[in-house]
Copies of this chain bind each other. A is one copy, B any other.
Amino acid sequence: MRRSQLFVKTRRQTPADEEARNARLLIRAGFIHKEMAGVYSYLPPGKMVLDNIKQIIREEMNAIGGNEVLMSTLQNKELWEATNRWDDKEVDNWFKSRLVSGTEVGIGFTHEEPLTNALKHFVSSYKDLPVYPYQIQTKFRNELRAKSGLLRGREFLMKDLYSYSRSQQEHDEFYEKIAGAYFKVFSRLGFSESITFRTFASGGVFSQFSDEFQVLSHIGEDTIYVDKAKKIAVNKEVYSDEVQAKLGLNKSDLSEEQAVEVGNIFPLGSKYSDALGLYFTDENGHKQSIIMGCYGIGISRLMGLLAEHFADDKGLVWPVSIAPFKVYLIRLGSSPTVVEAADSAYEQLTRAGVGVIYDDRDASAGEMFADADLMGIPVRVVISEKTLISASAELKLRTSKEPQIVPAQALAQTLEKQLQN
């Protein structure tokens, strides 16, 4: 895409009405716009980052048998009364509204109830199970305070998968399978297994623990205890001598770390399926309860974390896998030779399928370099009178200090290699 075709601009000043560093950076870089505390709109490069994160998650969910759906936002009160989650005393972060007729409706914050209800049309026999519907959808939570930018929104994008299994064993097997898929997702997003920990966290009614996926980060808001040799982590919130003994941990092997929760998986037992009347008939004709689990990944939260975690003093630093563009192409100078060479490089890269943003404005070198850095594009390529003397282009990774000189002819090939590493 040509920069002149992109309507957003970067800003040098930090927005006055924003406290969170992730949102400040994303606003300055033209990726998001703040509508109110905890509510953001996504501008073109921000939308591209979201789409790239979504695609990675979608691929990994499909690979383990996920079926993508899109549930409604408006919620039927009756379904939530059946599970005792309608009353504001039970769930304190509903947004609610009313139909013209006066009937109350909810604005969805999660989807166990409607999905379980819909499945009553499709699940009755053991032959119909297990099933793994998931969606990527905007959720709404009426948070009292929303000061962490994209890390805790009132309106946010989430992937939520729900599993429906015939037995505890079948449930447990899938639970481990999706845990594996989660590590793949986070690793593809730039959080390797060496800094991502499946972490024992508070469980609720059906099991002692749930599992959080925590990424070690200097911006971490959670504290976890990690046994790095055993790859076991425990959220400080649930840590006790009893838990230590149960998990076979040694206090001296644990390090205390700051971390950010990027996903969670949760056993639900048959609470929702029983309450909504979703059962199955087994091989012997007996009616049985269905064991559920829910599995969330906060997509807009991940975007905020990725922005803040990798940023440096010049701005954003996107991992290649989710960067809105892989290459920021700068044309220095406006002589016909330079314009022609830059145009041709742009076409060459676009044809090769390398996502490129081409700064075709007549801006100063400093302005363009600063934009490439602030927007966090993985590779900067400069074409100028000087590089053209040797029929070359200057290439610099966002994460390295030194530029390299590469033959202009081999630009696409060189970039493809660089971007794979």
Contacts and interface: CB of A to CB of B under 8 A. Distances in A.
B71 A41 contact: yes
B65 A5 contact: yes
Contacts of A99: 142, 154
A49 to B, nearest CB: 11
A124 to B, nearest CB: 10
A7 B131 CA distance: 6
Contacts of A71: 35, 41-42
A43 B114 CA distance: 12
B142 A100 contact: yes
A95 B119 CA distance: 28
Interface string A358-379: 0000000000000000000000
A36 interface: yes
Nearest to A300: B70
Contacts of A33: 118, 121
A155 B99 CA distance: 12
B118 A72 contact: no
A99 B144 CA distance: 8
B118 A36 contact: no
A7 B128 contact: yes
A9 B121 contact: yes
Interface in A57-92: 65, 67-76
A311 interface: no
A419 interface: no
B36 A76 contact: yes
Instruction: Give the one of A73, A98, A101, A143 with max B CB within 10 A.
Output: A73
Contacts of A411: none
Nearest to A5: B65
A41 B39 CA distance: 24
A281 to B, nearest CB: 15
A30 interface: yes
A96 interface: yes
B69 A47 contact: yes
Give the dominant DSSP class at A's interface: mixed
A73 B42 contact: no
A390 interface: no
B70 A42 contact: yes
A69 B96 contact: no
B96 A70 contact: no
Contacts of A69: 41-44, 47
A210 to B, nearest CB: 24
B8 A122 contact: yes
Contacts of A72: 35, 39-41, 155
B35 A74 contact: yes
Contacts of A74: 35-36, 39, 95, 140, 154-155
A133 interface: yes
Contacts of A35: 71-72, 74-76, 114
A208 interface: no
A188 to B, nearest CB: 21
Contact of A97 (B46, B95, B114): B95
A316 to B, nearest CB: 17
Given A47-B68, A93-B100, 9 more contacts: A7-B131, A33-B121, A35-B71, A35-B72, A36-B74, A41-B69, A44-B133, A46-B70, A73-B140
16 contacts: A5-B65, A7-B133, A11-B121, A30-B122, A36-B76, A39-B72, A41-B70, A46-B70, A72-B155, A74-B140, A95-B105, A96-B97, A97-B97, A99-B154, A100-B143, A101-B144
Interface of A: 5-9, 11, 30, 33, 35-36, 39-44, 46-47, 50, 65, 67-76, 93, 95-101, 105, 107, 114, 118-119, 121-123, 128, 131-133, 138, 140, 142-144, 154-155
Listed from nearest, the 8 A-B pairs whose CB atoms lie closest are A7-B131, A42-B70, A33-B118, A41-B71, A95-B97, A35-B72, A44-B67, A97-B97
